[in-house]
Amino acid sequence: MEFTTPPPATRSGGGEERAAAEHNQHRCRLKGHGMEEEMAVKVFDLEMPGAERSFLAECEALRSIQHRNLLPIRTACSAVDNRGGMFKALLYEFMPNGSLDTWLHPRAAPAAGEKAPKRLGFSQRVNIIVNVADVLDYLHHECGRPTVHCDLKPSNILLDDDLNALLGDFGIASN
């Protein structure tokens, strides 16, 4: 298998690239065994206080719960890099519509050559609210061990091809 980094996304506003850079998240293509899949990779900066605890909390929170509105983790990686340092990362399914934050707060003016930012219609907003409420109800009441997300915000709500909301980033979740 090999990772390749695709060219930057062209969605207007560039919000997902800004968000990815701020949160040490990257886009890549995973190739191997006759498949090619675009993935989102969240790399943990283990020099930051609490980063390893955040990695473990996210793995623990998501290892035994499944719901259609939870961002699916494809795999977790914990290894020693070529310099002897620890490396921890999570690979997620890539969400082409980015985060809810980039849809609610688009950049004021598109750069030259970019399209105007898309806007969410009323029914799309209601659908997103219902998706988030459904997954929170599941986490709090139905998943066996109640789980509290602790960091619910638009940048942690990702949108798939059909603008269905998926909740991610369980780094400070508690049960």
Give the largest CA-CA distance in the chain: 51
Residue 134 is among the residues annotated as catalytic for this protein: no
SS3 call for 130: helix
Residue of 45, 137, 151, 161 with catalytic role:
151
Residues 6+ apart with CB under 8 A from 34: none
**DSSP string of 43-112, one letter each residue:** EE-TTSTTHHHHHHHHHHHHHS---TTBPPEEEEEEEE-TTS-EEEEEEEE--TT-BHHHHHS--SSPPT
Residue with tokens 């850079």: 21
Burial 140-149 (b: 16+ CB within 10 A, else e): eeebeeebeb
Residues with active-site annotation: 151
